[in-house]
Structure 1
Amino acid sequence: MLAFYYDKSFEGLLCAVFDAFKLKKMPECLLTEGQVEPLLVTESHFVEFRNSKFERVQTALEKKISTTSLNQLIYVWLSELPESDLIIFRYICKVFKAEHSIETDFADPDVLFVRDIAKKVSRERHYLMQFVRFTTIENPIKYSGNNQPDKIYFSVVAPVYNALPLVVNFFKDRFADQQWAIYDEKRQYGYFYNLESIEKISLADPDDLIVNGQVRQKYLSPNETLFQNMWLRYCNALTIKERENPKLQRRQMPKRFWHYLPEMKGK
């Protein structure tokens, strides 16, 4: 069994594809340095990262498949599922070996996997676009960014898949005149928009700021609790009790998001 070692980045994965065709050897597993090898591994290859390698593969891939399929590969990568990188690797290799497009060859298990997982990640992306709720923070918070604003709109999320990178441009366009940050507490990173650009951040002390998915009271602006209570009362006033359908509500609004939503307090 042949094992390829790479840096576990998408660009590094494309470098692995380059090496596979150059060496004319296809790995049975993809590992990172320090990862325990399966018992059946008899040969190893360490993939050297080079911009020229992944750019060459990326350019060739863009010519062979549609933008939709290329986005699906990105979505599968962001799924973080076990061996998703190996499936992407095999998919790309099949693209280059095939004389015709394989994008709709759903008899192929790798093509089917890419389509199905991409759908799930896309659904998670739409959930984030719908259910992100911002909280006004006036006390300064410490994070690994260049700017340290005194007031921002802050949101905490914990998606099943790593879908946060897929929605930052949506919120940039929607809230272009506000400084905001969205933080993924599950993966311990987020994005901050400073009215000019988006930068990736990590909190210096997440537990000091966030508890049970909520921003601690000491960091909230004076009127934040009032606004949240008003929003809750407004939503309750609009509710028609006779038309409540909890089963449909949980299907359209998964319960794992409820503790992030002010309008769902007490439910």
Structure 2
Amino acid sequence: MSPLMQSHDYIIGHLTPSIVLYEPSFEGWLSAVFYVYANRLQEDESLQLIAQDCYVPSLIANSTSIETNDEHVERVLAKLNQLLGRSGMRNILWGFLSEKDHIGTTLFQVVKYAIDYPSRAIMEDLGNLNVLELVQIVKSVAREKHRMEAFVRFEHTTDDIYFARVEPDFNVLPLIGEHFRQRYQDQHWAIYDVARGYGIYYDKSKSTPSRPAALQTITDLDDAVLRNPASIHSQDEQRYQKFWQGYFTNVNIKERKNPRLHKQYLPQRYWKYLSEKQVLPNADHLQKRR
């Protein structure tokens, strides 16, 4: 082989990205981190960690799929807890739940920074671009979590379950469950993430006087119910929604409406799951009576 061809092969090989594909879960990403260090790939500048369901195959990329390994997960978790502490691990988890593009790679670079400099408070070093990106992402996730806790609207069903649909920008369902579990221990309720196809369910019959029941994960809900939850509304829920919509219509003062400010505090993307934002058939009539 000529020197020119050898040089060409070297350049192509040098530019070929190394991609570690992990199962789309936090445990899957932790297993990928273990794989990288076990195979001494951490210094590879082209290294990427990508969820398997987000990866688009490439002709020039070398990819390796990693299975989740519980033992490896525990070892990585123990190390990260030691290096990052509670608040640092919170940032890592919340960052992962953002589902941002390339978040697996960004989180790995933050972890690598922590491992390379174990005595440094790396989460305070906003001069590091990966840390800065993570901190900004976590702020966005925290904002979405707060809004979900405020804007969830439960609807009482014929099965005596209070059911809510949500469609958050980030995967915040694991973050808001405890908020509702502590506040609604005396009823059955479920919150379903329509965009991600899963939800959480609280069964009050499994709680005790000293301890609320654990949350259960639910999947595969009937599409017809998701599209038209009114089909399973109880009679009380039907009355409550009419009363609430009527109140919301009448309490507004037309001369003092400020749509821009309203959308600032209540973004329009949340409206389709808010009962007060649904059109009331006689809304115009109610307004004229005022």
Q: What TM-score, normalized by structure 1, do the two folds share?
A: 0.86
Number of residues of Structure 1 aligned to a counterpart in Structure 2: 251
Structure 1 residues 227 and 123, CA, compared in 2 at 3 Å: closer, same or farther? same
CA displacement 1:168-220 (0-9 Å, x = unmatched): 110111111010011111111111100122100013422x1022xx51x3311
For 1:135 and 1:32, the matched residues in 2 are separated by 35
Match of 1:233 in 2: 246
Cα distance, 1:232 vs. partner? 1.9
For 1:200 and 1:112, the matched residues in 2 are separated by 33
RMSD over aligned CA atoms reads 2.1
For 2:187 and 2:235, the matched residues in 1 are separated by 18
CA displacement 1:106-140 (0-9 Å, x = unmatched): 121110110011111111111110000111110xx
Match of 1:265 in 2: 278
State yes or no: 1:120 paired with 2:140: yes
Match of 1:252 in 2: 265
For 1:117 and 1:239, the matched residues in 2 are separated by 36
Q: 2:126 aligns with which of 102, 106, 110?
A: 106
Q: 1:159 aligns with which of 149, 154, 168?
A: 168
For 1:263 and 1:239, the matched residues in 2 are separated by 12
For 1:106 and 1:40, the matched residues in 2 are separated by 33
Structure 2: 5+ residue runs without aligned partners? 1-16, 205-212, 281-290
8 A contact 2:95–2:134 mirrored in 1: yes
Q: 2:74 aligns with which of 52, 55, 61?
A: 55
8 A contact 1:17–1:93 mirrored in 2: no
1:226 aligned counterpart, secondary structure: helix
**Which sits farther off after the overlay, 128-137 or 73-82?**
73-82
* Structure 1 or 2: more helix by fraction: 2
State yes or no: 1:188 paired with 2:207: no
- Within 5 Å, which residues of 2 pair with 1:1-267? 1-26=17-42, 28-31=47-50, 35-42=55-62, 44-98=63-117, 99-138=119-158, 150-195=159-204, 196-206=213-223, 208-211=224-227, 214-215=228-229, 217-266=230-279
Q: What TM-score, normalized by structure 2, do the two folds share?
A: 0.80
Structure 1 residues 167 and 32, CA, compared in 2 at 3 Å: closer, same or farther? closer
Cα distance, 1:46 vs. partner? 4.4
2:124 aligned counterpart, secondary structure: coil
Structure 1: 5+ residue runs without aligned partners? 139-149
1:58 aligned counterpart, secondary structure: helix
Structure 1 residues 232 and 112, CA, compared in 2 at 3 Å: closer, same or farther? same
8 A contact 1:90–1:110 mirrored in 2: yes
Cα distance, 1:48 vs. partner? 4.5
For 1:4 and 1:262, the matched residues in 2 are separated by 44
Amino acid at match of 2:167: A
8 A contact 1:135–1:153 mirrored in 2: yes
8 A contact 2:50–2:102 mirrored in 1: no
Cα distance, 1:160 vs. partner? 1.0
Cα distance, 1:32 vs. partner? 5.3
Higher relative contact order (CA closer than 8 Å, sequence separation 6+): 1
Cα distance, 1:39 vs. partner? 3.6
**Which sits farther off after the overlay, 96-105 or 163-172?**
96-105
Structure 1 residues 37 and 263, CA, compared in 2 at 3 Å: closer, same or farther? closer
